[in-house]
Amino acid sequence: MPADRLHLVRHGEVHNPGRVLYGRLPSFRLSADGRAMARSAAEHVQRLGRPVSALYASPLQRTRESAEPFAELFGLSPVVDDRVIEPTNVFEGKRMKRAVLNPLNWRHLTRPEVPSWGEPYVQVVARMDAAMTEAWNDADGGDVVMVSHQLPIWITHLAVAGERLRHDPRKRRCALSSVTSFERDGDSWREVAYAEPASTARAVDVGAV
């Protein structure tokens, strides 16, 4: 019996005093506020009053920590799925404002439609769709929660909406600990809800790819 709804949840605020683009770098954990944000996301899903039957998370520390409140509230053990991980990016470990001003880096900015600075958008869409479809079909009814990252969630939104994948990263609608929800129409996804249950007014959010 497939799932009823699938929620893509972004991780909470990351402890990032250097304000670098952290990408797939290890040991970037949630801040204290980030843990509170993750809890808010889990409580939001709980308030929907819908049973959650499966929980997945990216292998990175910040997403596994963001999955912990869901595991607690719904009595689930999170399954790590490499397919919902942050994309690769040549600017990992750098401050973006400085990096883009360096002429040595301009070659990485020549094809934003791919993009030339990281994993191709079409590849991210394909792996996210594969992970979501498999989780949907493997579920024993109820809802599925997948804790992932800003770019994979936003690019999935664009693909499902039939919009072009090239976009301005500064204009993504995917806040920290936001919840983007989908259902299936036959073989296609349909976005049904978006929520920002966490307070992010003072959050530091400069590390997304």
Whether 202 is covered by a domain: the verdict is no
Whether 99 is covered by a domain: the verdict is yes
Q: What is the CATH number of the domain that holds 110?
A: 3.40.50.1240
Residue 96: what pLDDT? 87
Q: Give the helix ranges, DSSP H, for 105-170.
A: 121-138, 150-161
Look at the chain and report how many structural domains it folds into.
1
Whether 203 is covered by a domain: the verdict is no
- Mean pLDDT for back-to-back runs of 10 residues, the chain (209 residues): 95 96 96 98 98 98 98 98 97 90 90 95 98 97 98 98 95 97 96 97 88
Q: Position 59: which residue type?
A: P
CA–CA separation, 39 and 169 (whole Å):
26
Where in the sequence is the domain holding 171, given as residue range(s)? 5-195
Q: In degrees, to the nearest 5, what angle opens at C-alpha 95 toward C-alphas 89 and 96?
A: 65
Asked if 199 and 142 count as a contact pair (C-beta separation under 8 A), the reply is no
Could you identify the residue written with the tokens 């024993």?
Answer: 140
Whether 200 is covered by a domain: the verdict is no
